[in-house]
Structure 1
């Protein structure tokens, strides 16, 4: 066996997703999966750290320690489910929590304490996957298209994998082996923030609240005027751009907008920006496969299918053998495996880096 653990805590800040994977002989076999929700105080602090604030260096370091403890908890659960010893796992791939992403300024910051994680779980830890790509002139994101190509690519078919986390991104897997991809814009980040503000809920379960609202065409048009959407790839984004203060600025021109109608319109916004990106980047796509938290939002999926049109089939990655909630954690287990094998993990055609690079920094157990 060639066992690796992948850990992912994304922009939605709901917690840690983890998988234990066997990559023996080039296969990708998931042996266990686990989810550890964030404690409310940690989630609030990680959210607060997305913007500059007082004493943020110390606060970020303390949050990183707590994050490592949550990661270690997830590792323990995975080992228990699979009845595997820590010594049998070659490495843990831990992405960390993105709190700043400014590749145009030459940096990206993922909060993490991989040294503490290695100490707590007794397994080699590989972290800091994005910075080498940024150092080579790339965006440092998205990094998942290389993994998507390895597990979802099919000769002769053009497939799009749409990851709808806090931010949405696509991987375009062309039938001739070429791969493209970029961040399309907001996924769940605005939806989660808006419903938490008005309903006190962390997310819109199955899109039920959005389904009861009405489209605000003027607001949708204003949202679609965001300059990021028209930028050519390679490009990436995050909470540095798409956040509630950004939304509030757009809403200033619509003071009478009902909150539920705004929610409906935001759901449509995620769907339309994704579909527009797919139509531009993969007009001949045979199918779109959705992963991430947005795959479980029925209202969002219906809006995405309507925006794509009848000529493109829509499904989740379940149809390709991997549950939507496992895909990103699997990707970082794969990136850790690539690092251990001294193989590149980025795609310059996606990130814009000057060339292929081995991604990740090793923290031995």
Structure 2
């Protein structure tokens, strides 16, 4: 018999490489409606030099080296989750639901690989672990991304659009009875890299970008990238940035502020483009704190923007992967073919039952 109450921990590591997001979540299912409540939340930051450079280099590893990285990261992730559970005295969990970290994402080649999805995590935690949500979708001909839209539908259906501003910007909305979602453009994965030479992790509130001047030629080149003309389903990854964005920025002699201003304008144009005027938007992810980016989006389209409480801004993806795990435990659909392009809706993920 299916339960109506679930107590889980959601775990997410995103492409912006900020760290591992951990969220204790209580779910309740009543009258066909899912409700949630956050418990404890925490982000375990990655070490700037060691972890971030290592994670960014995964795309270049051989299959054997990637297997070794998977094992190492799984051990590390298990330790991080264990510390979180013990520090907050969390008991009575139904499961730990983990996204892992995307090492490779080439869905056109039928390849996606998340490290940190090994059985050893369940053994370390002595908990049921639900993980590895993307591989099955790619095997069914899908993009394996984005996966968050099922949560947008079930938890945030009162918004016209849900937009996450993380390493990449992605959008989710209902259209003709189907959930549509896709990646819009890179965001923090590019902006954060640009301010590294200044000794910064990110451009706080977009202050540096707001002081810069547009570089028209660069803006035109960015907007002309073929990805933006493609129809969804479509998704982006680090490999795409290395192939398409990095060459445009390499050798630029402009000030960092000007590069930031130009990239933010590009992002604002791409994010605003598909939106209907006066729509109600939910913005989450670290980019939701970038005041200048939000201002530039509003400059292109009249919108009703909602930036919610801190926990939802920072832990929405961990929250929704917690929900994906719960849906998998119930063997209910957690992956939508209308979003990913897979041959069918399905219940994705792997369950390691080790509640011992």
TM-score, length-scaled by structure 2: 0.90
Which residue matches 1:314?
305
CA deviation after TM superposition for structure 1 residue 35, in Å:
1.0
1:72-221 map, 5 Å: 72-78=79-85, 80-81=87-88, 83-85=89-91, 88-154=92-158, 159-173=160-174, 177-196=177-196, 198-221=197-220
Contact 1:36 1:74 in 2 (8 A): no
The CA distance in 1 between the partners of 2:214 and 2:199, in whole Å, is 22
Q: Say whether 1:301 aligns with 2:302.
A: no
1:209/1:143 CA distance change after superposition, 3 Å = same
Which residue matches 1:359?
348
Instruction: Kindly provide the CA deviation profile for residues 106-129 of structure 1, in whole angstroms up to 9, marking residues without a partner as x.
Output: 110111143221122111111110
Q: Say whether 1:39 aligns with 2:47.
A: yes
1:330-349 map, 5 Å: 330-349=319-338
Instruction: Kindly provide the CA deviation profile for residues 234-290 of structure 1, in whole angstroms up to 9, marking residues without a partner as x.
Output: 1111111013x64342246x84422220111111222211111x33xxx36621211
Contact 2:265 2:296 in 1 (8 A): yes
The CA distance in 2 between the partners of 1:136 and 1:10, in whole Å, is 24
Q: RMSD in angstroms over aligned alpha carbons?
A: 2.1
Q: Say whether 1:265 aligns with 2:262.
A: yes
Contact 2:41 2:311 in 1 (8 A): no
**Which residue, 302, 312, 327 being the options, matches 1:323?**
312
Contact 2:77 2:116 in 1 (8 A): no
CA deviation after TM superposition for structure 1 residue 71, in Å:
4.7
Runs (4+) off by over 6 Å: none
CA deviation after TM superposition for structure 1 residue 17, in Å:
0.6
**Which residue, 33, 53, 58 being the options, matches 2:65?**
58
The CA distance in 2 between the partners of 1:56 and 1:199, in whole Å, is 35
Which residue matches 1:249?
247
Contact 1:275 1:304 in 2 (8 A): yes
CA deviation after TM superposition for structure 1 residue 200, in Å:
2.5
Q: Say whether 1:286 aligns with 2:279.
A: yes
Instruction: Kindly provide the CA deviation profile for residues 318-346 of structure 1, in whole angstroms up to 9, marking residues without a partner as x.
Output: 3xx96211100001000000100001111
- Higher mean C-alpha deviation, range 212-221 or range 325-334: 212-221
Instruction: Kindly provide the CA deviation profile for residues 202-239 of structure 1, in whole angstroms up to 9, marking residues without a partner as x.
Output: 21121122122111122111100110111001111111
Contact 1:49 1:56 in 2 (8 A): no
Q: Secondary structure at the match of 2:238?
A: coil
- Higher mean C-alpha deviation, range 341-350 or range 20-29: 20-29
Q: Which runs of 5+ in 1 are unaligned?
A: none
